[in-house]
Chain A
């Protein structure tokens, strides 16, 4: 009995050590990047792991101005705002249609959207490039925005439809009896009740668009139009020649700060039960 108890508590101590070790494995690279953003270029070689001897906040100013990160940041905010707004609005409308309206081809439409989950965008870079070239919108936001929006539909519809499905029929009928139109039902009944799903879908889309690299890399080449991931990749590739590491990491910190803030605010929603609705058999 005593031995068993000793074994149990020893097991839990070991388990805690393993969990802490894994947390360090996750956190140390992030913390190191943060400290590195304040390091001078020389210190990268003389003192790469300790605290910076002088906290060189000028790295941020340099990255923001000369490094063009300010422009990338504004572009990212713009693209993310526009794309996520369109994605959520149109996906909510489409999910409402395939979930609550009755028409022939409803299941086909749903199937079309869901099957998009299995279309890897990275395998379609050549036809997308050619198509935008034909339409004369290659290298512009008029080309990038519809592409980002289109590739976000499958996941967003997949997340939203179950939320629309579980809204009780009675509410809809009651609204009809009160003489509400379809538009009123959508805005006044459906949207408020599907809100938890809409929040999760919005957060995931913000992260998705903010971080998107492959499609932007293929479709955007002008420096003034690049988003943060594209700009960062540029700076990174240039580092092979200049080795201005402090500024590179300042740019990294600028790019991950908004994500970190949103994550900390919504962390409980994301790690809790809500995600379950998204991916669960």
Chain B
């Protein structure tokens, strides 16, 4: 049976290396675009940070070593942006993660209307940042805004407060739309993780007389910690694009740089001051600051993606 033999040969071929042309055909298109438009710019930014360049004519780049970084260390606007960036991130993460944990924990205990709540709460996450920013710009409007109207309604009449226009409140005002947008996604993610917890664990805790709070802090929280870590880190990396959009549209970094953050400052340094080398140095600093954290999480993620492919 020659036919049979041929098939067996084929079967063996599955276990050895796949033909090169097949690998190239399936992998190369994505890999090449990815290397060209993601990896290459990363390398460029690490090279550009050692040059002084206005970014127009090629060949006028001037190598200046670490001068950009020296300048950076003495640039109060850079430090202001960095601090604002960190405050904004920590504020958004702490508030949205705690609120999400509260709702996810209670939704998991099967309260009535859970499906409606999930659908409603996730919805803002589907809206674009520009739309969300616009809506919140009007919520904060000093005279016709919902926030001041609502405060007046419940008896807190503080007049036409310009939430985005005063340094004391602007940064927190910018963070609210992000919290509004992200909390729903966190609720859904945490809920999925909590529902994975075997019922027997929770039953055991209840038999031992654990209170609801103990059940949450001693059983649920430790078991979903990895999910929280992954979700938080994802938000942090996404956050640069997100933060850029809200700051750009809501405050333009003002008043008096009180909402300036790293990506908006990079944009300004590059496209308004035409100091591309200096802008690259700010990018590189941001990259390095988040790199250590990335290494840890990346290993966790790789472990997850690679796992379960034994046998081929």
Contacts and interface: CB of A to CB of B under 8 A. Distances in A.
A260 B127 CA distance: 8
A93 B26 contact: yes
Q: Which of B25, B27, B271 has the most CB of A within 10 A?
A: B27
Given A112-B31, A117-B301, A165-B308, A179 B10 contact: yes
Given A23-B120, A127-B280, A116 B38 contact: yes
Contacts of B184: 26
B305 A161 contact: yes
A177 B111 contact: no
Chain A: interface residue count, which band?
Answer: 35 or more
A276 B263 contact: no
Contacts of A91: 30
A110 B280 contact: no
B201 interface: no
B32 to A, nearest CB: 10
B135 A252 contact: yes
Contacts of A213: 128-130, 241, 244-245
Q: Which of A90, A162, A255 is most buried by chain B, counting CB atoms within 10 A of its CB?
A: A90
User: How many B residues touch the partner, as a band?
Assistant: 35 or more
A271 B189 CA distance: 9
B122 to A, nearest CB: 6
Given A93-B27, A102-B16, A120 B126 contact: no
Interface string A148-191: 01110110011001100110010011001101001000100000
A281 B103 CA distance: 20
Contacts of A169: 311-312
Contact of B226 (A104, A237, A260, A281): A281
A114 B37 contact: no
B241 A124 contact: no
A147 B40 CA distance: 12
Contact of A150 (B38, B240, B243, B305): B38
A33 B135 contact: yes
B29 A124 contact: no
A6 interface: no
Contacts, number: 318
A77 interface: no
B238 interface: yes
A23 B111 CA distance: 14
Given A121-B241, A123-B263, A151-B38, A16 B14 contact: no
A28 B283 contact: no
Given A12-B111, A19-B111, A126-B266, A120 B30 contact: no
B58 A259 contact: no
Nearest to A248: B134
B144 A45 contact: yes
A78 to B, nearest CB: 17
Contacts of B279: 126
Contacts of B119: 267, 271
Contacts of A248: 134
A131 interface: yes
A267 B119 CA distance: 7
Given A29-B135, A125-B267, A229-B128, A176 B38 contact: no
A49 B146 contact: yes
A222 B23 CA distance: 40
Interface stretch (B70-78, B214-222, B286-294): B286-294
A248 B111 CA distance: 39
Contacts of A255: 128, 130-131
Interface stretch (B42-50, B88-96, B159-167): B42-50
B283 A19 contact: no
A118 B196 CA distance: 27
B86 interface: no
A217 B130 CA distance: 11
Contacts of A134: 58
B65 interface: no
Given A123-B262, A228-B130, A255-B131, 8 more contacts: A103-B17, A124-B41, A124-B42, A125-B266, A130-B44, A146-B33, A210-B128, A255-B128
Interface of B: 7, 10-11, 13-20, 22-23, 25-27, 29-31, 33-42, 44-45, 48, 55, 58, 99, 103, 106, 111-113, 115-124, 126-131, 133-139, 143-144, 146, 149, 180, 184, 188-189, 192-193, 196, 226-227, 229-231, 234, 237-241, 243-245, 248-249, 262-263, 266-267, 270-271, 276, 279-280, 283, 286-287, 290, 294, 297-298, 300-302, 304-306, 308-309, 311-312
16 contacts: A26-B180, A33-B135, A98-B27, A107-B306, A125-B263, A126-B45, A165-B309, A169-B312, A179-B7, A207-B126, A210-B128, A214-B241, A214-B244, A229-B129, A267-B119, A279-B227
Interface of A: 12, 15-16, 19, 22-23, 25-30, 32-33, 36, 44-45, 48-49, 90-91, 93-94, 96-104, 107, 109-131, 134, 146-147, 149-151, 153-154, 157-158, 161-162, 165-166, 169, 172-173, 176-177, 179, 182, 186, 207, 210-214, 217-218, 228-229, 232-233, 236-237, 245, 248, 252, 255-256, 259-260, 263, 267, 270-271, 273, 275-276, 279-281
